[in-house]
Amino acid sequence: MASKTVCVSVIIPTYNRAEFVTKAIDSVLVQTYRDYEIIVVDDGSTDKTQQVLEPYLDKISYIHQDNAGVSAARNRGVVEAKGQWIAFLDSDDQWLPEKLSVQVAAVQKNPNLYLHTTDAILLNEYGERVSQFQYTGLVEFLKGKSCVVERPLAYQVKYSLARIQCVLANRKALFDAGLFDTRLTIFEDQDLMCRLALEGRWAVTTRVLVHIKRPAVSSCNLSTQRISNPIGSYESLVYLYEKLVRNSKLNPAEKSLVEQELSACKAALGMELLKVGDNLRSRDLFRQALGSRGSVKSLLRYLLSFLPPTIAAKTVAGWHGLHQKFSRRD
């Protein structure tokens, strides 16, 4: 078991991941940095999770709770944590052995940091690998160098700079930001990271220190969610940015950026709703998007919502087909 005082609390939420969770724990146990505790929050698993964790009970703090979702499980871990710094690891992902040592050294060198994050390799079941920073275009900004970002929100919004499995976050800053929003089941990590980006400076290392496993349909989990549940995904993003745009800690440039993202998400949600014949709701969203970001495209989308539902849905499908065709050519 961990000592009463530790520097880092590692929080692993899990739900029916008996075949993976021990590998995640093992990747923590081989860390070259040792001043940590491991808190596994079992969110009501019905498989053999409890049994496979029994050999680890002298090395972890095990918490079992009724199923309440990953956000509630992570929040429970933060509340129970003893460390000043919090690291999150999903139960089907793994860290490289130097992950914590690199991050702790960075925050000890610069006491004004609120968060440290790293690059990660995204892996699918076919063994395909891609760097998170490369996938999102962050490599162009970072140019292969580690750095400190004074106002990280813009990079979190544009590039998803900090993924939850990659961060070492100040525990007090997590509470100040409000922890995870339990109403969200998609993009709950992006929601918290955006709020945390307003608390203070972040440091970034370009070293790959995390392996994130994702389904073969996409190397990027967010893209996978958008494919499988596009309406729910965009509803979550609209909710996320509607909250964020009201945050008093935004500076004018950040507020403008969030307004742009919110408008784009409303337009995207409207297009998805047109596909299923919900013209009235899509029209309202297009009206809002048109009011905040007037453009010819926004106007065309708004007018499209007045077509009969079946015709509007076919038009949207053709629109997307043309977009994908020309995107492949690029």
Per-residue confidence band for 111, with pLDDT thresholds at 50, 70 and 90: confident
Among 42-56, 76-90, 114-128, 289-303, the minimum mean pLDDT is found in 289-303
What is residue 228's predicted lDDT score, i.e. its pLDDT?
75
Q: What is the mean pLDDT of residues 177-181?
A: 97
What is residue 145's predicted lDDT score, i.e. its pLDDT?
78
This prediction has a pTM of 0.87
Give domain 8-220's CATH number out of 3.40.50.10540, 3.20.20.210, 2.20.25.10, 3.90.550.10: 3.90.550.10
What is residue 213's predicted lDDT score, i.e. its pLDDT?
83
Cα-Cα-Cα-Cα dihedral sign, residues 107, 110, 114, 119: negative
Among 75-79, 92-96, 139-143, 275-279, the minimum mean pLDDT is found in 139-143
What is residue 305's predicted lDDT score, i.e. its pLDDT?
64
What the block records as the tokens of 251 is: 């500076």
The single residue listed with the structure tokens 């996978």 is: 224
Per-residue confidence band for 298, with pLDDT thresholds at 50, 70 and 90: low
**Between 289 and 99, the higher pLDDT residue:** 99
Domain boundaries, the chain: 8-220, 229-329
Which percentage of the chain shows pLDDT scores above 90? 68
Per-residue confidence band for 317, with pLDDT thresholds at 50, 70 and 90: low
What is residue 215's predicted lDDT score, i.e. its pLDDT?
55
What is residue 325's predicted lDDT score, i.e. its pLDDT?
44
